[in-house]
Amino acid sequence: MTVVYWFRKDLRLQDNQALFEATKVAKDTNIVACFGFNSAWFELLEGIRQHSLVESLKTLDKSLDGNLNVLAAESSQALADNLLKVCQEVNAKLVFAMNCFDPEAVRTQAVVAKTLNASGIELKLIGSAYAVQPGTVAKPDGTNYRVYTPFYKAWRLLADSQPIKINTSSISFQKSKLAIGIPVATKPTPVKVLAGEAFALRTLERFSKRALDSYDEDRNRADLGGTSHLSHALAHGEIHPRTILEILNDSPAHEVFRKEIAWREFYADVLHHYPHTLNDYYEPRFKKLRYDTGKQAEQRFKAWQEGKTGYPMVDAGMRQLLSEGWMHNRVRMIVASFLVKDLHLEWTWGAAHFESLLSDFDPASNSHGWQWTAGCGTDASPYYRIFNPILQGLKFDPNGDYVRKYIPELRHLDGALAHEPWTTLEGYSNGYPQQIVDHNTERNESLARLEELKQSS
């Protein structure tokens, strides 16, 4: 029986539960592998994100011997109609796909299911992008966890760490007449993008040899590269968490990394239960906090976006984002705290900027990561916890190597001086900008605004 497979955020062949089930039905016959492409959405992406998706699709197409069918999908209904046409073309009665849980994906799969069912075709949603499917981990009373630590303890007992092996040798992937070809990026990228399943597996292998055993000690050091660099692969589904969890033991370093995997799954679970929190406050009282708006706020936001705030650790992170489409996780927290607590701008401004640039963009992790720092999310860092961008830089980039890498104006300063150019006569000689705000002043202002919120509640 010929079946249709709808690739979503699972751009790989191995350890793919939905594809495994499709191969069992289509054994010794054909699978028509499809991917829905919305060109209008694609045009809104920055170049790095465009190239990231294109390279991932190219590598998937190569693994399918050139038989990936990219379908026009300017809307959920357009995608549903084209999947239906493919099914009618090859006389398929089953469409397999991975179940997705972010709000837009849920709406899309509902439209597809309704359209297919009306013509007697079944959409089978199987598995997820997580070791534990969102909505599965629950308290004894059946409600969801709203705090990470108890979630993790329950998740740990359920997490699947057995990758699914798929034999695709007996499957023929078939081309459809409706395929429009692999999309082409329309914007330049400042960095060459490497992507795909094979690259993800090599990245995991390198990480296991390079940094996994010291992950608990080095993950926060922006200058050491102690993170896995697997976030892009996870976001595109080029690797499944099962494949990662399989190599972990119970050592302290491995356990800390396992907890980072679980944070991603916790945020997905939270968004599943509270879909409005994609763009809205998990803790609604913080909507009433006094935020800055107007011309000065927009100018400061622009300086933050461009890495020209005058705070080296903040600026290095923002320039890394612009040049690589990625930012070290500790630095993400530093720049987020600066935007919300020093510039008094809403977290949604920063979340939207990250969405436009991050090659590893994940809806749940982006929204709730920002809300954590802004003090309005689950397990939130209390609003009164305000990162000092100078001290954070000295702690997590003690020799200034990270700063000098991304800020050429400070490369003439040795060691930790790169974090405090105002302490030396030569600090601003290469054109590095002055601080746009005074951290101590703005910290006090943030605390005053918090007190206002408390008094009004």
Distance CA(101)–CA(268), nearest Å, equals: 7
pLDDT score recorded for residue 379: 79
Q: Which long-range contacts (CB under 8 A, 24 or more apart) does 39-47 make?
A: 39/72, 39/74, 39/183, 40/74, 42/183, 42/186, 43/186, 44/356, 45/187, 45/356, 46/187, 46/325, 46/356, 46/357, 47/185, 47/187, 47/188, 47/189, 47/190
Stretch (H or E) spanning 56 = helix 47-63
Residue-averaged pLDDT of the chain: 96
Split at pLDDT 50, 70, 90, the class of 171 is confident
Question: What tens digit of pLDDT does each residue of 270-298 get?
Answer: 999 999 999 999 999 999 999 999 999 99
Q: Does the pLDDT at position 31 exceed 80?
A: yes
| Region 17-44 average pLDDT | 92
Distance CA(283)–CA(429), nearest Å, equals: 45
Taking alpha carbons only, the member of 93, 111, 124 closest to residue 20 is 124
Q: Which domains does the chain have, with CATH numbers?
A: 3-127 (3.40.50.620), 129-163+197-273 (1.25.40.80), 284-456 (1.10.579.10)
Highest mean pLDDT among 165-169, 302-306, 373-377: 302-306
pLDDT > 90: percent of the chain: 94
| Region 319-328 average pLDDT | 96
Q: DSSP states of 171-229 as a string? A: -EE---TT--------S--SS----SHHHHHHHHHHHHHHTGGGHHHHTT-TTTT-S--
Phi, psi of 62 (to 5 degrees): -65, -40
With 0-12 CB in 10 A as exposed, 13-18 as middle and 19+ as buried, what is 180? middle
* Beta carbons within 10 angstroms of residue 310's beta carbon: 17
Question: What tens digit of pLDDT does each residue of 135-151 get?
Answer: 999 999 999 999 999 99
pTM of the model: 0.95
Collapsing DSSP to helix, strand or coil, 33 comes out as: strand
Question: What tens digit of pLDDT does each residue of 245-275 get?
Answer: 999 999 999 999 999 999 999 999 999 999 9
Split at pLDDT 50, 70, 90, the class of 380 is low
pLDDT score recorded for residue 29: 75
- Find all residues with CB under 8 Å of 440, minimum gap 6, and list them: none
Collapsing DSSP to helix, strand or coil, 75 comes out as: coil
Collapsing DSSP to helix, strand or coil, 21 comes out as: helix
Distance CA(184)–CA(42), nearest Å, equals: 10
pLDDT score recorded for residue 209: 96
| Region 302-323 average pLDDT | 98
What's the angle, vertex CA 207, arms to CA 204 and CA 210, rounded to 5?
A: 155
Q: Does the pLDDT at position 307 exceed 70?
A: yes
pLDDT score recorded for residue 213: 98
- How distant, in Å, are the alpha carbons of 43, 302, 362, 372 from that of 356? 11, 14, 11, 20
Question: What tens digit of pLDDT does each residue of 52-73 get?
Answer: 999 999 999 999 999 999 999 9
| Region 376-382 average pLDDT | 81
Distance CA(162)–CA(417), nearest Å, equals: 48
Q: Does the pLDDT at position 457 exceed 80?
A: no
| Region 345-352 average pLDDT | 98
Taking alpha carbons only, the member of 313, 353, 310 closest to residue 222 is 313
